[in-house]
């Protein structure tokens, strides 16, 4: 059997064993195919079953979360935690609260997390979790009760040297606070490193809130600089208006780019003068309202219902920062036709396989999520370091470390892409760079 046939065999096994898990299949397919040149060069990985082992989570939990709403009604949601791979450190990955959450979504995110965490160069394994709970329109007390009940089950499976969750869609500083409070109560001990994304006054790290968005822009900036292009004056479209989108916009504006659009799941706003970020922050971070409120404060801006057509806006750079598969093959064609020069994935797997292919074939500089949005988990790992030494670094110190980490990820992706004959393909470069470290650690630790 040649290497291609071997990889196909493993992929078919994944399809059979995880039937109906489309997002997980998509993530595995993208990674496995890009690793073919690695297996050709390193038959020892095949002999040691690295591929078969890396696509199978080490452990997965699915649990019931009963809670009581403000009207006294009993509600039931489903919770997940998938511990995918701990070859290079404790499982690490966020929690997502969104009605679309299911095992497939958590597994795709956990699988991606293995390679992403490896790329950061820090000692963290891959995991992910969440619930199909919808935080929208819930009162603060309902959110608190839900988080407490979620943790009442989750605490059995996590620990600062075992598995360290953080935030993701629908889980921000408020939720992490409630989750941490309940963990502390259940354990009767203060283990700050069990969760990251904590408040600054109880063990959080400066720059964690900004890290994914800032890191994304640092990566895109490196990628452009590699081609002698500057961010200055570039027209940018950013989807989403959550944590990643907001801080990507902040850094883009600081570096002289002009962001003309952003969105939420209902629709998007277009402001040709450039988005006013203070207004977006107030609407989203303080008032927790819909993005359409923006046009009340900025008469020149327009609101469009439905978020997909945001990609029809002509731009130099597109940064999808909302959710998976938000750029499909057609959206990609439209962006290319309108002259996009770079795409940076802030969200996890926001582009379909066809879209990625179209970008690469048409010479668009493409920064894949695994590499480009690794800044969040990198600063989470720095938060764990600070918790371990019981000390806090300044904003400038953490930001400098983040910048260096993003530059290293870019350099390693470029190096691996070139070494394996795929120059300028950061998708393949990042997959290989992330994989090699994990695979070598798995080899050294035996078949476990
Ligand atoms: P938030 O919950 O803060 O924001 C998510 C944004 O995306 C909101 O504007 C939301 O709109 C929009 N959105 C969510 N689901 C959909 C959907 N189905 N269709 C259209 N829009 C949608 O999440 P984050 O900013 O933290 O996460 C965004 C992405 O970045 C996710 O893919 C996440 O996995 C990834 N990521 C996040 C990291 C982090 O540190 N936070 C780290 C690495 C990756 P609405 O409010 O209407 O739901």
Question: Which CATH number goes with the domain that contains 184?
Answer: 3.40.50.10860
123 lies in a domain?
yes
Read off the tokens for 380.
């989470």
**Torsion angles phi and psi, residue 425, rounded to 5:** -100, 95
Query: Contact at 8 Å (CB) between 432 and 420?
Result: yes
- Are 216 and 249 contacting, i.e. CB atoms less than 8 angstroms apart? no
**Helix (H) / strand (E) containing 61:** strand 59-68
Distance from C-alpha of 35 to C-alpha of 32, rounded to nearest angstrom: 5
Joined together, the tokens standing for residue 60 give 């997965």
Residues 23, 94, single domain; the answer is no
Q: Say what the alpha-carbon torsion angle 93, 37, 26, 319 is, to the nearest 10 degrees.
A: 70
List, for residues 292-317, the tens digit of each pLDDT value: 999 999 999 999 999 889 999 999 99
Ligand 1 pocket, CB under 6 A: 167-170, 212, 240-245, 264-266, 307, 321-323, 346-348, 373, 376
- Atom 3 of ligand 1: nearest residue by CA position: 242
Number of Cβ within 10 Å of residue 9's Cβ equals: 12
Q: What is the pLDDT of residue 308?
A: 85
Counted domains in the chain: 3
Of the residues 117, 244, 368, 377, which should be mutated to test ligand 1's pocket, given the most ligand atoms within 8 Å of the CB?
244
The pLDDT score that the predictor gives to residue 59 is: 98
Collapse the DSSP code of 197 into the 3-class scheme (helix H, G, I; strand E, B; otherwise coil) and give the result: coil
Output the CA 362–ligand 1 centroid distance in Å: 28
C-alpha 284 – ligand 1 centre gap (Å): 12
**Taking a C-beta distance cutoff of 8 angstroms, is the pair 348, 369 a contact?**
yes
CA of residue 299 to ligand 1 center, whole Å: 27
Q: Are 98 and 169 in contact (CB under 8 A)?
A: yes
For residue 379, the CA-to-ligand 1 centroid distance in Å is 18
Tens-place pLDDT, residues 109-132:
999 999 999 999 999 999 999 999
What pLDDT, on the 0 to 100 scale, is given for residue 307? 87
Pairing mode of beta strands 235-238, 317-319? parallel
Domain end (from 50, 67, 86): 50
Among residues 116, 128, 184, 258, the one annotated as catalytic is 128
On whether both 40 and 96 belong to a single domain, the answer is no
Low-confidence ranges of the chain (pLDDT < 70): none
Give a yes or no: residue 415 inside a domain: no
Of 338, 372, 406, which residue sits at a domain end? Answer: 372
Q: Cα(364)–Cα(126) distance, rounded to whole angstroms?
A: 29
Q: What is the value of pTM for the model shown?
A: 0.96
Look-up of token digits 């995880």: 18
Distance 169 CA to ligand 1 centre (A): 5
Rounded to a whole number of angstroms, the distance between the first and last alpha carbons of the chain is: 26
List phi, psi (to 5°) of 139: -75, 165
Pocket test for ligand 1, best of 263, 322, 348 (most atoms within 8 A of CB): 322
Whether residue 107 lies in the annotated active site: no
Supply the CATH number for residue 306's domain.
3.40.50.720
Q: Which domain holds residue 15?
A: 3-50
Q: Six-digit token pair at 266? A: 């209902």
Q: Are 55 and 435 in contact (CB under 8 A)?
A: no
396 inside domain: no
Q: Which residue, by CA, sits nearest to atom 21 of ligand 1?
A: 265
Cβ-proximal residues to 391 (8 Å cutoff; 6+ apart), any chain: none
Residue 274 Cα to chain centre, angstroms = 26
Nearest CA residue ID for atom 4, ligand 1: 242
The answer to whether 54 and 86 have CB atoms below 8 angstroms apart is: no
**Residue 227 and residue 366 in one domain:** yes
Q: Which of 314, 342, 372 is where one domain is finished? A: 372
Sign of CA dihedral 433, 439, 440, 442: positive
Is residue 8 located within the same domain as residue 82? no
Tell me the two tokens of residue 349: 């797997």
**Ligand 1 test: best mutation among 264, 305, 328, 379, most atoms within 8 Å of CB?**
264
Q: What pLDDT is stored for residue 138 in this prediction?
A: 97
Residue 354 placed within a domain = yes
The answer to whether residue 136 sits within a structural domain is yes
396 Cβ neighbours under 8 A, 6+ residues apart: none
Q: Kindly report the protein residue whose alpha carbon is nearest to atom 35 of ligand 1.
A: 347
Whether 229 and 366 share a structural domain: yes
């Amino acid at each position: 059997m040649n290497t291609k046939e071997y990889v196909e065999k493993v992929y078919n096994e994944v399809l059979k064993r995880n039937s109906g898990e489309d997002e997980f299949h998509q993530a595995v397919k993208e990674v496995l195919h890009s690793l073919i040149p690695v297996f050709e060069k390193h038959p020892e990985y095949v002999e040691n079953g690295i591929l078969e082992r890396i696509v199978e989570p080490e452990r997965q939990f699915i649990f019931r979360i009963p809670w009581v709403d403000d009207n006294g009604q009993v509600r039931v949601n489903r919770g997940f935690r998938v511990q995918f791979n701990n070859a290079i450190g404790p499982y690490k990955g966020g929690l997502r609260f969104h009605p679309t959450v299911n095992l497939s979504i958590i597994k795709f995110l956990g699988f991606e997390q293995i390679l992403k965490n490896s790329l950061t160069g820090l000692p963290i394994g891959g995991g992910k979790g969440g619930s199909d709970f919808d935080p929208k329109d819930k009162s603060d007390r309902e959110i608190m009760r839900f988080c407490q009940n979620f943790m009442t089950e989750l605490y059995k499976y996590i620990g600062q040297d075992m598995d360290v969750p953080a935030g993701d869609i629908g889980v921000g500083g408020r939720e992490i606070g409630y989750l941490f409070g309940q963990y502390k109560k259940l354990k009767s001990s203060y283990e700050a490193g069990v969760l990251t994304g904590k408040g600054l006054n109880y063990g959080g790290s400066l720059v964690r809130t900004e890290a994914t968005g800032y890191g994304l822009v640092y990566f895109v900036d490196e990628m452009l600089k590699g081609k002698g292009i500057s961010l200055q004056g570039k027209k940018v479209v950013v989807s989403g208006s959550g944590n990643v989108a907001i801080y990507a916009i902040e850094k883009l504006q600081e570096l002289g780019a002009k962001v003309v659009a952003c969105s939420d799941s209902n629709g998007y706003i277009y402001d040709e003068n450039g988005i006013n970020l203070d207004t977006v922050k107030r609407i989203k971070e303080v008032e927790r309202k819909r993005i359409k409120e923006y046009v009340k404060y900025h008469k020149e801006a327009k609101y469009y219902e439905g978020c997909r057509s945001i990609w029809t806006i002509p731009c130099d750079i597109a940064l999808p920062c909302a959710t998976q598969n938000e750029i499909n093959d057609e959206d990609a064609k439209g962006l290319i036709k309108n002259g996009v020069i770079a795409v940076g994935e802030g969200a996890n797997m926001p582009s379909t396989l066809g879209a990625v292919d179209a970008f690469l074939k048409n010479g668009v500089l493409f920064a894949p999520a695994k590499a480009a949005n690794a800044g969040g988990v990198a600063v989470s790992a720095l938060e764990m370091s600070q918790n371990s030494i019981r000390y806090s670094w300044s904003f400038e110190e953490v930001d400098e470390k983040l910048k260096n980490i993003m530059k290293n990820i870019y350099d390693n992706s470029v190096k691996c892409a070139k070494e394996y004959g795929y120059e300028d393909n950061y998708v393949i470069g990042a997959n290989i760079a992330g994989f090699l470290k994990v695979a070598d650690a798995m080899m050294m630790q035996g078949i476990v």
